[in-house]
Chains A and B, each alone.
Chain A
Amino acid sequence: MSGRPRLRKFALTAHVVSSVGWLGAVVVFLALSVVGLTSQDPAVVRAAYLAMESIGWLVLVPLSVACLLTGLVQSLGTKWGLLVHYWVLMKLGITVVATIVLLLYMQTLNHLAAVAAELPPASADLGGLRSSSPLLHAGGALMLLLVAATLSVYKPSGMTRYGQRKQHVRRARSSTP
């Protein structure tokens, strides 16, 4: 792929769009979680939890998977490699952990949305619907994605042992006639 600049740029664009979109969606989710936790209007609280569930399935999950896949393509299709540089490895870890936690957390979001949907519209008693859990999870996700974005921009130096060995082998090969 390194010999195809157009394809490389397309892959890079897809990765940037999916990762930045994921970050933005998490910020929206965070705002909804604050609304669900603090609003005095029961209808608004119910709507917030229903919207969170929809955003989760329709935006967060697809973008997280897209970010993971495009990131794999980016690393394996360029000279950076997947396991060569620490910052790439760390980003991979962050993305995998965040995606797994998101997929697991969708159960909770499904549950909260089901509770919100089945509450009587006129009911002022929200019962156990208010939860700080979406706020905590969205805050954690935002922190992780900001770290990943920072790593992408700064690309701090440091090669893994595997990367160092690989570089050593490459240099040895190039030095031998």
Chain B
Amino acid sequence: MVLTLTLCLVKLVPHENPATTRTGDEVPMTDLRPRSDSPASGSDDRAAEPGAAPTTGAPRWVRAFGIIAVVLVVLIVVLLLVGGGNHGPGRHTGSAGAAGQALPASGMDAPDLPGRVQRADVLAP
């Protein structure tokens, strides 16, 4: 009777048992080996189909990240458009614009700030 009752409980609530709810997602952090993420890993009959490569779509967390990324990009674009498209060094000229001389167009050249030792000075004999 007790065994029957226990069996019924297990059947009724199958996911209460931690041993049965462990999925492939719950890999210890110390396990750094690549996991077999293919959906066909548990169904060899599908993988054995000649010429067919069973693929599935992106997991839920990837889709969630994608949605968040799209929302953020749209938000940034809207903010830039609302701001009149004035984004970049030019927007900081303000009243201190007199000091804002022409800057290197590439953005890769460090400016010649006062007090900075120039490379040419260092390399000069």
Residue positions of A touching B, CB distance < 8 A: 50, 53, 57, 79-80, 85-86, 90, 103-104, 106-108, 110-115, 117-119, 125-129, 131, 133, 153-161, 163-165, 167-169, 171-172, 175
Q: Is there an interface contact between A161 and B92, defined as CB atoms closer than 8 Å?
A: no
Given contacts A110-B103, A110-B107, A167-B38, contact A128 B24 (CB under 8 A): no
A-B contact count (CB 8 A): 123
Q: Is there an interface contact between A119 and B96, defined as CB atoms closer than 8 Å?
A: yes
4 closest Cβ pairs, A-B complex: A128-B94, A127-B96, A118-B99, A111-B89
Tell yes or no: B34 within 8 A of A by CB: yes
Give bound CA distance, A175 to B92, whole Å: 64
Which stretch, B3-11, B48-56, B117-125, touches the partner chain A?
A: B48-56
Give bound CA distance, A57 to B108, whole Å: 9
Selected contact of A85 from candidates B34, B88, B101, CB within 8 Å: B34
Q: Is there an interface contact between A111 and B54, defined as CB atoms closer than 8 Å?
A: no
**Seed contacts A119-B99, A164-B38; 13 additional CB < 8 Å A-B pairs:** A53-B110, A85-B37, A86-B62, A111-B92, A114-B111, A114-B113, A118-B99, A128-B92, A156-B59, A156-B61, A157-B59, A163-B38, A168-B38
Q: Is there an interface contact between A168 and B54, defined as CB atoms closer than 8 Å?
A: yes
Residue positions of B touching A, CB distance < 8 A: 24-25, 27, 29, 32-40, 47-48, 53-56, 58-59, 61-62, 65, 88-89, 91-97, 99-101, 103-104, 107-108, 110-111, 113-115
Determine the residue in chain A with the shortest Cβ distance to B106. Answer: A107
Give bound CA distance, A154 to B37, whole Å: 14
Q: Is there an interface contact between A165 and B55, defined as CB atoms closer than 8 Å?
A: yes
Please indicate the chain A residues that have their CB under 8 angstroms from the CB of B95 in the complex. Answer: 125, 127-128
Q: Is there an interface contact between B62 and A108, defined as CB atoms closer than 8 Å?
A: no
Q: Is there an interface contact between B29 and A154, defined as CB atoms closer than 8 Å?
A: yes
Q: Is the interface of B mostly helix, strand, loop or mixed?
A: loop
Q: Is there an interface contact between B55 and A164, defined as CB atoms closer than 8 Å?
A: yes
Give bound CA distance, A103 to B107, whole Å: 7
9 sampled A-B residue pairs with Cβ under 8 A: A85-B37, A106-B107, A107-B89, A107-B103, A118-B99, A128-B94, A160-B58, A163-B37, A168-B47
Q: Is there an interface contact between A129 and B54, defined as CB atoms closer than 8 Å?
A: no
Nearest CB in chain A: distance from B67 CB, A = 13
Please indicate the chain A residues that have their CB under 8 angstroms from the CB of B101 in the complex. Answer: 114, 118
Determine the residue in chain A with the shortest Cβ distance to B62. Answer: A86
Selected contact of B37 from candidates A111, A127, A158, CB within 8 Å: A158
Give bound CA distance, A133 to B56, whole Å: 41
Determine the residue in chain B with the shortest Cβ distance to A49. Answer: B92
Give bound CA distance, A86 to B58, whole Å: 8
